[in-house]
Amino acid sequence: MTRLSVNINKIATLRNARGGNNPDVIKAAQDCENFGAEGITVHPRPDERHIRYADVIALKDVVKTEFNIEGYPDLRYLKLIREVRPAQATLVPDAPDAITSNAGWDTLRHAALLKDVVDEIRSLGVRVSLFVDPSPRMVEGAAKLKADRIELYTEPYAREYHVNRDVAVKPYIESARVATSLGLAVNAGHDLDLDNLKFLKSNIPDLAEVSIGHALICDALYLGLENTIQLYLKQLH
Ligand SMILES: CC(=O)[C@@H](O)[C@H](O)COP(=O)(O)O
Ligand SMILES: NCC(=O)COP(=O)(O)O
């Protein structure tokens, strides 16, 4: 089974536009779960332009499915993970000023930094996933670091999907195969949508989780949140 984790960053973007509490991200997380989401993902960024660190702490006792906190493992992120102890920490190499995630880790070059962080987070009983490009070498590096999972960065897949989807998915199939052979479970995320999700899933049947935010929240504007979540679930189950 592939779990659908809904990334609620964009709900916080809308809330922040007016400075009040509409829409309420706590209620939105609860509603996503009630509508069928099997996880909630947040990616707090240093400028708190969407989800805030305080939101993440408030969500700790609210999320009943799997809580996944993404981010660059700086001191503030690590403090948050110690305090919240989510089901999963997804480590992403984004620079503080990145508009959105734009690459996976170089798990070989950054092995020294990642080793200590992965060990510490795992010792808290929190599963660790490393965000990587679809490269068998990077997957092997993640396995050496004793991560639990990788999250394959799917922006290149999403971009190329409409050009040649068989070519687009190839490196993902190979990377997932390497990951599975090394005992790593496989997540995927970034720019997944109602067009490209089913094909990814059919090519990587053992996909453990997808985290989806931007397209899902955009679709919800037209289709409604409950209906949209059900439509995404249909692509996966
Ligand atoms: C790691 C990843 O792909 C996502 O977290 C994605 O980048 C969403 O982050 P933003 O909502 O800040 O764009
Ligand atoms: N890890 C990917 C994620 O949480 C959401 O990415 P996107 O769907 O907003 O591109």
Look at residue 221 in the predicted model and tell me its pLDDT: 98
Look at residue 109 in the predicted model and tell me its pLDDT: 98
Look at residue 178 in the predicted model and tell me its pLDDT: 98
Q: Which two tokens stand for residue 165?
A: 């989807």
Separation of CA 172 from chain center: 16
> Which residue stretches of the chain have pLDDT < 70?
none
Task: Return d(Cα 59, Cα 9) in angstroms, integer.
Answer: 13
The residue among 143, 236, 144 whose CA lies nearest residue 185 is: 143
Look at residue 1 in the predicted model and tell me its pLDDT: 93
CA R_g for the chain: 17
Q: Is 38 noted as a catalytic residue in this protein?
A: no
Look at residue 170 in the predicted model and tell me its pLDDT: 98
How many alpha carbons fall within 13 Å on the CB side of residue 161?
A: 18
Look at residue 230 in the predicted model and tell me its pLDDT: 98
Task: Return d(Cα 193, Cα 235) in angstroms, integer.
Answer: 10
Q: Which atom of ligand 2 is nearest to the CA of 41?
A: 4
Q: Among residues 33, 140, 151, 190, which one is catalytic?
A: 190
How many alpha carbons fall within 13 Å on the CB side of residue 203?
A: 20
* 94 annotated among ligand-binding-site residues: no
Longest CA pairwise span in the chain (Å)? 48
Look at residue 220 in the predicted model and tell me its pLDDT: 98
Q: What ipTM score was computed for the predicted complex, to two decimals?
A: 0.97
The tens digit of pLDDT for each residue in 122-152 reads: 999 999 999 999 999 999 999 999 999 999 9
Domains of the chain from N-terminus onward: 3-236 (3.20.20.70)
Task: Return d(Cα 148, Cα 141) in angstroms, integer.
Answer: 12
Task: Return d(Cα 185, Cα 176) in angstroms, integer.
Answer: 8
DSSP state of 65: S
Look at residue 11 in the predicted model and tell me its pLDDT: 98
Find out whether the beta carbon of 9 lies less than 6 Å from any atom of ligand 1. Answer: yes
Q: Among residues 43, 140, 151, 209, which one is catalytic?
A: 43
